[in-house]
Structure 1
Amino acid sequence: MTPRTKEQNEAIRTRRMGQIMRAAAEAYVIKGINMDMRDVAAAADLGYGTVYHYYKNKYDLLSDLLTMALGEAEEIGLNYLIKGSSVQDYGMTLLRRWRKDPSLFVLYKLACEHFRELPEQEAKVFAERFRQSVIIPLAEVLGTLRRDSRLEESAFLIIGGLVGCAGLSVYRRSAEMNEDEIVKLLLGGF
């Protein structure tokens, strides 16, 4: 048997990290910050030591998970807010992505809680990055639709409302979520 190439090892590493990230998001949805590395290993169907090979603790893992999800949130904002889609389309996209990808939901949920479960300095960094990547672009779109002196607060309330409604489905791990009804109810005025 020939040894693996560098490319094969990197492909295994990338696949494994994706597996760990998905499992961490699922474990977080179920247990919150009380999740531990054993929960992640079990959800990923990996050995406990394998998870520790990649991450020294749950905070490092959660930090990578949130960083990855922030990149996706920025992409969604770029595609739906900056390019001129409606607030309703943006909300619908978030709800659909959250149902499919719990890591993205975890980011938005933690943002609504001001990342309070993270170490203080890390929470500040994520909160500001989320504000820059998600809240400000949404607030700018809202500013084109109505006059309001509290556009960032309104944007944050919209995100919070969507997270709350989506949570009803995500926490039950239900594939059913009536995105159309949620968007009509929460964002119908935009």
Structure 2
Amino acid sequence: MTPRTKEQNEAIRTRRIGQILRAAAETYVLKGINMEMRDIAAAADLGYGTVYHYYKNKYDLLSDLLNMALDEAEKMGLNYLSQGSSVKAYGIALLGRWRKDPSLFVLYKLACEHFRELPEPEAAVFRERFRQGVITPLAEALGTITKDPRSDESAFLIIAGLVGCAGLSVYRRSADMNEQEIAILLLGSF
């Protein structure tokens, strides 16, 4: 039997981290910060030690999950809001992604709670990055529509409303979320 190549080892590492992150997002949706590494290992169908091989604790794991989700959230904002799409189209896209990818939902949910479940220095970093990468682009899009000087607050409330509505489906693990209907209800004039 020949030893694995560096590329094979990297492919295994990448696949396992993906498994762990998906399992962590799904577990967080069910248990919140009370999730344990054992829960994540079971959800990922990996050994307990394997999860600890990649992450020293749940906060380390959650930080990695949130950073990856923030990268994706920033790209979505650029793709929709800076390309001239409507705020409603952006909202529909967010709802659809949250249904398919719980890590993005976890990010937005924690953002609505000001990342209070994280250690404060880390929470402050995530709050600022979320504000710059997600809230500000949405606020700018709203500002051009409404000319409201409080567009940051309005953007945050829109995100919070979407999170609340999406949570009804995400927590039940239901695929029957009607993104169009929610967006029309919350973002009808945008």
TM-score, scaled to structure 1? 0.99
Q: Does 1:65 align with 2:65?
A: yes
Cα distance, 1:189 vs. partner?
A: 1.6
- Match of 1:42? 42
Q: Does 1:134 align with 2:134?
A: yes
- Match of 1:13? 13
User: Which sections of structure 2, spanning at least 5 residues, go unmatched?
Assistant: none
Q: Secondary structure at the match of 1:114?
A: coil
Q: How many residues align?
A: 190
Query: 2-side partners of 1:143 and 1:154: how far apart?
Result: 9
Let me know the Cα RMSD of the aligned residues.
0.4
- Match of 2:104? 104
Deviations, residues 92-151 of structure 1 (Å, cap 9, x unaligned): 000000000000000000000000000000000000000000000000000110121210
Query: 2-side partners of 1:146 and 1:57: how far apart?
Result: 44
- Match of 1:80? 80
Query: 2-side partners of 1:58 and 1:27: how far apart?
Result: 11
Query: 2-side partners of 1:72 and 1:178: how far apart?
Result: 22
- Match of 1:148? 148
Amino acid at match of 1:90: Y
Amino acid at match of 1:96: G
Q: Does 1:113 align with 2:107?
A: no
Query: 1-side partners of 2:180 and 2:56: how far apart?
Result: 41
Query: 1-side partners of 2:52 and 2:21: how far apart?
Result: 13
Cα distance, 1:75 vs. partner?
A: 0.6
Query: 2-side partners of 1:101 and 1:129: how far apart?
Result: 20
Deviations, residues 30-56 of structure 1 (Å, cap 9, x unaligned): 000000000000000000000000000
Query: 2-side partners of 1:28 and 1:112: how far apart?
Result: 15
TM-score, scaled to structure 2? 0.99
Query: 1-side partners of 2:174 and 2:39: how far apart?
Result: 20
Which region of structure 1 is more displaced relative to structure 2, 59-68 or 81-90?
A: 81-90
User: Which sections of structure 1, spanning at least 5 residues, go unmatched?
Assistant: none
